[in-house]
Amino acid sequence: MSVPTAWDHLPVQDRTRPGDGYIYLIDFSLGVVKPGRTNQPRKRLAEHDEAVSRFGGRINRWWLSPIHSAWKQNEAALLEAAAQRGRSLRGEFFADCDYDDILALAERMDFAVTPQLGVEKDRITLRRETVASYRAIGWTIPQIAAELGIGWATVHRDLAA
């Protein structure tokens, strides 16, 4: 029998919007803040909850955006803000970072949904912006490629565009 969690009501995945997703922000009891993105919010929060419990921690509070098209760019902006305000522990986990500060920024982001017509061009533009955002916060080309699931050549092309 599974124990009910605070995120059981969240969507599993919205297959009607394949190019869209969510951004989230988690405040862990261990003094760590985690901005992120997902297209499967229920699963992602459960994964983080399980992972932090191995270290004796728990999720204090969390926030999830509406589904939207600029989720990758918005995540990159949150990561950049967290990096400027806190201390990176490992990739996307930040100590000495004020959750409420990052949440205020997140809540002001654009949560528009791109119409399905012309989505391919928009995806390329969004990917290029995301690549540039990750590069701006110091990610290497291999890290960007791995995060976005694209090849190194595509990252180079996007940075040159």
The SS3 call for residue 120 is helix
pLDDT band at 1 (very low <50, low <70, confident <90, very high): very low
Task: Give the pTM.
Answer: 0.68
Residue range 66-108, pLDDT digits in tens: 989 899 999 999 999 999 999 999 889 999 999 999 999 999 9
Domain ranges of the chain: 13-111, 114-161
Residue range 12-21, pLDDT digits in tens: 665 556 678 9
Which of 123, 8, 146 is CA-nearest to residue 71? 123
Mean of pLDDT values over 111-125:
65
How far the first Cα of the chain sits from its last, in Å, is 52
Please tell me which of 5-19, 56-70, 105-119, 136-150 the model is most confident about, judged by mean pLDDT: 56-70
Provide the percentage of residues in the chain whose pLDDT is more than 90: 48
Amino acid symbol at 5:
T
Mean of pLDDT values over 27-43:
94
Q: Determine the pLDDT at residue 99.
A: 96
Q: Determine the pLDDT at residue 2.
A: 38
More confident residue, 141 or 23: 23
More confident residue, 5 or 53: 53
What is the tally of helices (H) and strands (E) in the chain? 6, 5
Burial of 43 (0-12, 13-18, 19+ CB in 10 A): middle
